[in-house]
């Protein structure tokens, strides 16, 4: 099937007819209700199921947790019993799919009793029934936002034509298109849509970028849809990574020059780097862009507005180029030296004034690099992703999620550190090295030893209950702060999947569960990655065709407004005259 036909059948026709993404088939078969075997032996281990939902906690309004029973080839029959309170439900087959009605009944009964659904899996192996070790699913009374939005990206580094921005209802399995690259593309011109974001979970106030053909930033605000050009002569680029003010029509963006290079020895495939990045302030009503930071030796990125609107949190790396001829090559060659700290700037809503930056977490002193700061809705917790270097941690398999208690966070002074590279290795060590691999290993070892001298601050912890052996990256809090959704490559190391976990309000999380699908083996077969999963309080109701019509029009240029005062590259001035 060619890409256009695929698009029409999967997204456009369903959006016009009001149907879901699939086409139902009515199968008439003779069957009997499954029953629990009367005789069985007890197995010593829990069943192997996919997705692994053993011991997870789920919201009261989540879609059914369908799962597949992995088994030996000799297994022939499968029965699963769900028990909640004094009631039970029995499902047959290796694909355990209780359906929406049964699942809703289970959750209702569970909440009225002890809050748990107990699950027993029976497997007939060579004529002998075995009951696997039972496990529980806990149902929380805390609800979750009913929708998420995300991009779906095929496995490629240089092509992105078949890319979509989607929304999924978490209460069932309905997935619909918000916008797709190919709607306005033709054989000669292509688009890349990215960096979607909503104002405080509001599906009526969203933005995303369209790159290249018909490029611009698309902003939907209470029914008004427009396309603007945020690039000015005084900014690095158009807006890239956004954060909305919680209530006002203001967006802070990073502006970035971004490139990627490919590793030849590292098993991690690519390194994505900024060669420049600053912050800008966009006023939606005035259509003005104001630079916030302009220091060419600081790479400022991934801003996030605190829920009370009083702070902008962001990450920044300091990089002074030593080679003035091959500057970009120098950055690529020394990619491990580019490390980001966590900062914040105070914001006065009355005067629209940003204060000087404050260092909140000196990760560089620990030989680490942070990215993606996101503050919980109650303003107490800040989650971020940490790795050894860089800012695009989705490509770093050591990347983990961390949590900071902001009630204990105070500005700190940067710690002077020594970073070893090929130019300053001690002579006695250098004399023993014969290969580049040995040299790189020695540099890494020395820098790790330097970082180990600085322990993790008491107000920060690694979230061991969420992390895995592989990448954890993007994350988003639910609007009630009771849930987080985050990206992980724990399944196969290649494709990014969304996982959800419960937050107890005290900085601890339940065992995460993978985004439920109607077909439990869907993610084993789905060769696309989820990018930027974000909660929404409801569906985006603007149709893809409405976005397409706006995107076809010319972008309205934003007007540049220069701040009155820039201090050391960081503004303390007003981007907008107070009213």
Dist CA 174 CA 529 (whole Å): 18
Detail the DSSP E strand segments found in 284-350: 288-291, 298-305, 311-318, 340-348
What region does 568 belong to: left with phi over 0, alpha with psi -120 to 50, or beta? left
Residue 418: its pLDDT value, please?
85
End-to-end CA distance of the chain: 57
Beta-carbon count within 10 A of 398 CB: 14
DSSP bridge partners of 386: 370, 400
DSSP bridge partners of 384: 402
40-140: what fold? Immunoglobulin-like (2.60.40)
322, two tokens:
């030593």
Q: Is the pTM of this model over 0.85?
A: yes
Domain ranges within the chain, ordered by starting residue: 40-140, 147-415+454-560, 416-453
Strands 497-502 and 513-514: what pairing? antiparallel
What region does 53 belong to: left with phi over 0, alpha with psi -120 to 50, or beta? alpha
Burial of 260 (0-12, 13-18, 19+ CB in 10 A): middle
Nearest CA to 15 out of 163, 152, 179, 162 is that of: 179
Give me the numbers of helices (H) and strands (E) for the chain, helices first please: 8, 38
Query: How much helix, strand and coil, in percent to the nearest 5, is found in the chain?
Result: 15, 40, 45
Dist CA 91 CA 94 (whole Å): 9
Three-state DSSP state, 160? coil
Could you tell me if 173 and 180 are in contact, meaning their C-beta atoms sit under 8 angstroms apart? Answer: no
Three-state DSSP state, 100? helix
Residue 577: its pLDDT value, please?
40
Sign of CA dihedral 46, 51, 57, 60: negative
CA angle 362, 391, 182 (to 5 degrees): 155
Residue 313: its pLDDT value, please?
99
Q: Which helix (H) or strand (E) holds 437?
A: helix 436-452
The distance between the two most distant Cα atoms of the chain, rounded to a whole number of Å, is: 82
- Phi, psi (degrees; rounded to nearest 5) at 202: -85, 115
**What is the dotted CATH code of the domain comprising 147-415+454-560?**
2.120.10.30
Nearest CA to 375 out of 339, 344, 420, 353 is that of: 344
Could you tell me if 302 and 373 are in contact, meaning their C-beta atoms sit under 8 angstroms apart? Answer: yes
Dist CA 461 CA 532 (whole Å): 23
Dist CA 447 CA 438 (whole Å): 14
Residue 23: its pLDDT value, please?
36
Residue 79: its pLDDT value, please?
98
- Range 503-539 burial, b when 16+ CB lie within 10 A, else e: beeeeebbbbbbbbbbebbebeeeebbbbbbbbbeeb
Low-confidence residues in the chain, pLDDT < 50: 1-9, 11-31, 565-574, 576-579
Could you tell me if 372 and 384 are in contact, meaning their C-beta atoms sit under 8 angstroms apart? Answer: yes
Nearest CA to 571 out of 294, 302, 257, 318 is that of: 294
474, two tokens:
């993007």
């Amino acid at each position: 099937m060619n890409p256009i036909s695929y698009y029409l059948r999967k997204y456009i026709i369903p959006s016009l007819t009001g149907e879901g993404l699939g086409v139902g088939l009515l199968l008439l078969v003779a069957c009997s209700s499954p029953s629990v075997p009367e005789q069985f032996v007890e197995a010593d281990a829990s069943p192997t199921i996919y997705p692994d939902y053993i011991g997870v906690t789920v919201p009261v309004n989540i879609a059914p947790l369908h799962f597949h029973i992995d088994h030996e080839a000799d297994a022939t029959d499968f029965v699963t019993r769900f028990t909640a309170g004094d009631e039970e439900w029995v499902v047959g087959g290796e694909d355990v799919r209780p359906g929406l009605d049964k699942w809703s009944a289970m959750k209702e009964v569970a909440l009225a009793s002890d809050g748990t659904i107990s699950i027993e899996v029976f497997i007939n192996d060579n004529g002998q029934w075995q009951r696997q070790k039972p496990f529980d699913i806990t149902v929380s009374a805390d609800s979750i936002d009913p929708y998420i939005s995300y991009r779906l990206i095929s496995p490629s580094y240089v092509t992105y034509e078949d890319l979509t921005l989607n929304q999924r209802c978490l209460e069932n399995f309905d997935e619909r298109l918000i916008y797709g690259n190919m709607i306005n593309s033709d054989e000669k011109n292509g688009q890349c849509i990215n960096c979607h974001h909503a104002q405080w979970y509001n599906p009526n106030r969203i933005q995303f970028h369209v790159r290249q053909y018909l490029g611009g930033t698309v902003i939907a605000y209470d029914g008004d849809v427009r396309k603007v050009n945020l690039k000015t002569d005084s900014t690095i680029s158009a807006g890239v990574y956004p954060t909305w003010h919680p209530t006002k029509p203001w967006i802070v963006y990073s502006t970035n020059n971004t490139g990627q290079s490919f590793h030849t020895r590292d098993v991690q495939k690519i390194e994505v780097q900024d060669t420049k990045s600053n912050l800008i302030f966009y006023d939606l009503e005035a259509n003005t862009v104001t630079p916030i930071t302009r220091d060419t030796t600081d790479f400022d990125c991934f801003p996030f507005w605190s829920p009370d609107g009083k702070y902008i949190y962001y990450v920044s790396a300091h990089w002074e180029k030593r080679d003035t001829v091959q500057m970009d090559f120098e950055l690529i060659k020394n990619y491990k030296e580019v490390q980001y700290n966590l900062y914040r700037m105070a914001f006065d809503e009355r005067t629209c004034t940003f204060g000087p930056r404050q260092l909140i977490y000196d990760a560089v002193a620990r030989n680490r690099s942070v990215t993606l700061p996101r503050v919980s809705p109650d303003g107490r917790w800040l989650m971020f992703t940490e790795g050894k270097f860089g800012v695009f941690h989705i490509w770093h398999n050591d990347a983990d999620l961390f949590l900071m208690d902001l009630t204990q966070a105070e500005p700190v002074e940067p710690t002077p550190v020594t970073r070893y590279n090929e130019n300053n290795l001690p002579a006695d060590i250098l004399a023993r090295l014969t290969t580049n691999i040995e040299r790189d290993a020695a540099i890494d070892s020395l820098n790790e030893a330097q970082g180990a001298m600085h322990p993790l601050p008491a107000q920060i912890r690694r979230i061991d209950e969420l992390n895995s052996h592989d990448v954890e990256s993007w994350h988003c809090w639910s609007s009630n702060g009771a849930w987080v959704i985050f990206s992980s490559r724990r399944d196969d190391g290649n494709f990014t999947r969304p996982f959800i976990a419960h937050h107890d309000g005290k900085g601890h999380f339940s065992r995460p569960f993978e985004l439920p699908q109607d077909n439990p083996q869907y993610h084993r077969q789905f060769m696309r990655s989820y990018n930027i999963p974000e909660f929404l309080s409801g569906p985006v109701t603007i149709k893809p065709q409405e976005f397409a019509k706006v995107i076809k029009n010319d972008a309205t240029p934003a007007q540049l407004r220069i701040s009155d005062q820039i201090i050391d590259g960081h503004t303390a001035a007003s981007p907008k005259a107070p009213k």
